[in-house]
Amino acid sequence: MAVTAAPRRSGTARSDRRPSAERLLRVAWVLAVLALIGYPIALVFGQSFLGEDGGVTLGNYAVLGTEPLLLEATLNSLWIAVGTSVAGLLLGMPIAWLVVRTDMPLRGFFRASALLTFAAPSFIAALGWILLLGPNSGVLNQFLMAVFGLQEAPFDIFTPWGIIFVLALFLYPLVFLPVAASLEGIDPAMEHAASGLGASRLRVLCTVTFPLVLPSMIAGTILVFVTSFVIFGPVALLGAPAQFQTIPTVLLTLMNFPPRIEVAAVVAVPVLALVAALLLVQRKLVGTRRFTVIGGKPGRQDVVRLGAYTPLALALCSLVLVLSIILPFGILLATSMRRAIGLPLGPDNFVLTQNYAEVFAQPRVSAAMGNSFALAVGGTAVALVVALVASWLVHRSRARSNALVGPVMAAPLAFPGAILGIGIIIAYAGVPFGLGGTLLILLIGYVGNALPLTYAYVHAGLGQIGSDVEEASRSLGAPWLRTTTRITVPLLRPSLLAAGLLNFVLLFRELELSVFLYTGANPTIATVLYGFANESRYQLAGALSVVVLTINIGVTMLAVRLLGRRLSTE
């Protein structure tokens, strides 16, 4: 009897430990997401309904119709979003088709160039285009005026069209990437069947291929619309000289002294509703229309031979590469070595390291570099822990509430940086926490911002790891924590490293949250760059931009290499 009882008690103890650990992890995860996301956003909604007497009122929303600036900013945001979406679609669709379905040379190179936008912040690109097409001293404008004898600059980047131009060049990959993946995944049998029935190549493209990629096209366009509707950096840099305001720039104005937090909250709530609705539509398109005609492993797809149109295809892809990467970042590199902006480029206006030395001699730059590095590393580490717990709950536990984990972890996608920043200010800047102006309040925002990408990688990685080894470890008496640290985490190392490196790139150059949350005492690299641009200290901005881009490109290439190794071993 003693022999049979002992295993029963041991097995019960092991089974009790796992539910206990599961409950503890679930409580910890709930508290984390509430602190990072739920509490700040709930306070934004609450603040919008809070009257001067402390009661609940809808009267605050009357400001939306009484302040002309808010209506103008809303219309401007819609204009920018619609224009960028159309331009991004016109760029992303043809480039995706050329890269995936034709025999155009350098297809892999052009695909990689689209991915480089990950390491190329759009607000830094906007700074580059100011140096190229600024009406007073833009290099391209000066060149065209000298060549054609013009009295005025032919282009002015400080216009809504200039904003759309810059945003489209850096957001078109949001259309390109899903459409390219969809084109690669289509089973060519249907296209072959249509061709066999006598349909021309153009008819097959319009009646078979295009309908199959339509959901991905719409989903990518929605992402471009949402991003451009709430983006801050490029609009702030390019719109400020023309007093062109959009919702994020108005929100920043409302948070300046004296802050009008209740008005900012009122503006934020409709934006949240619109963004959430659009992202829900995007999720439905991707989630429910999973291309039922695509099954198993696609067969060999026909390659369209461009023939005489090859130079035209190469010209299009090369032009986008030049406009999105080479020109704006090339001029930043050149400006970082210029003695003075007003003088023409040449040997007399060339200095190699002077501007770099001046940048790093400034205390705020060295402080910002340390702050950004610490925040990027810290935000990435905390986000990885939260994502690992969430992924473990989904894959290793059974609860009805697990269906909510994924949407909750993706929720920050629906909260623009400006609005999440306002929520964090309301929640943690004042009493009882008193975190205003500290690095900790920035860290809270960075972690919340990093959750969606981190969870996507960790969730996918853990889903590919069977639970047999973990069960065997626990059956031998190993505690849950030891099993996780000795077995689960090492097996997840490629996913964790890839997510961590990509998050570092995004957080190291993060502007939207930073500009709302910092008070001048704890600058970041992005806020210092933003300050240099506003002060028209373009040589210093160029030098610091080159440093940031070098770091980001290096980390991005390392992440891509790790991802490639992971895919090659699967």
Mean pLDDT over each residue of the chain, to the nearest integer: 84
**What per-residue confidence (pLDDT) applies to 494?**
79
pLDDT of 164 over the 90 cut = yes
- Contact (Cβ atoms closer than 8 angstroms) between residue 550 and residue 569: no
Taking only the tens place, the pLDDT of each residue in 257-290 is 788 888 889 998 888 888 888 888 877 776 544 4
Stretch 483-489: mean pLDDT = 79
pLDDT of 524 over the 70 cut = yes
Q: At 63, is the pLDDT very low, low, confident or very high (cuts 50, 70, 90)?
A: confident
| Distance separating alpha carbons of residues 545 and 568, to the nearest angstrom | 34
Overall residue count recorded for the chain in this entry: 570
**What per-residue confidence (pLDDT) applies to 566?**
52
Q: At 487, is the pLDDT very low, low, confident or very high (cuts 50, 70, 90)?
A: confident
pTM, 2 dp:
0.85
% of the chain residues with pLDDT over 70 = 88
| Distance separating alpha carbons of residues 144 and 133, to the nearest angstrom | 10
- Contact (Cβ atoms closer than 8 angstroms) between residue 247 and residue 267: yes
**What per-residue confidence (pLDDT) applies to 156?**
93
Nearest Cα neighbor of 282 from 364, 226, 202 is 226
- Contact (Cβ atoms closer than 8 angstroms) between residue 220 and residue 179: yes
pLDDT of 445 over the 90 cut = yes
Stretch 477-495: mean pLDDT = 78
**What per-residue confidence (pLDDT) applies to 31?**
96
Q: At 297, is the pLDDT very low, low, confident or very high (cuts 50, 70, 90)?
A: very low
Q: Which residues contact 533 (CB under 8 A, 6 or more apart)?
A: 127, 130, 237, 541
Angle between helices 122-133 and 160-171 (to 10 degrees): 130
Higher pLDDT, 6 or 217: 217
**What per-residue confidence (pLDDT) applies to 197?**
62
pLDDT of 54 over the 90 cut = no
- Contact (Cβ atoms closer than 8 angstroms) between residue 459 and residue 387: yes
Residue 434 in tokens: 């008193």
**What per-residue confidence (pLDDT) applies to 520?**
79
Taking only the tens place, the pLDDT of each residue in 184-224 is 877 666 666 666 666 666 666 666 677 778 888 888 899 89
pLDDT of 3 over the 50 cut = no
**What per-residue confidence (pLDDT) applies to 214?**
84
**What per-residue confidence (pLDDT) applies to 565?**
57
Taking only the tens place, the pLDDT of each residue in 17-31 is 556 778 888 999 999
DSSP assigned state of 428:
I
**What per-residue confidence (pLDDT) applies to 176?**
92
Stretch 99-113: mean pLDDT = 90
| Distance separating alpha carbons of residues 353 and 351, to the nearest angstrom | 6
**What per-residue confidence (pLDDT) applies to 119?**
64
**What per-residue confidence (pLDDT) applies to 17?**
52
- Spell out the domains of the chain, with CATH numbers in brackets: 62-291+298-308 (1.10.3720.10)
pLDDT of 118 over the 70 cut = no
Beta bridge pairs of residue 270: none
Range picked from 178-182, 257-261, 542-546 for highest mean pLDDT: 542-546
Beta bridge pairs of residue 56: 50
Nearest Cα neighbor of 273 from 229, 217, 219 is 229
pLDDT of 154 over the 70 cut = yes
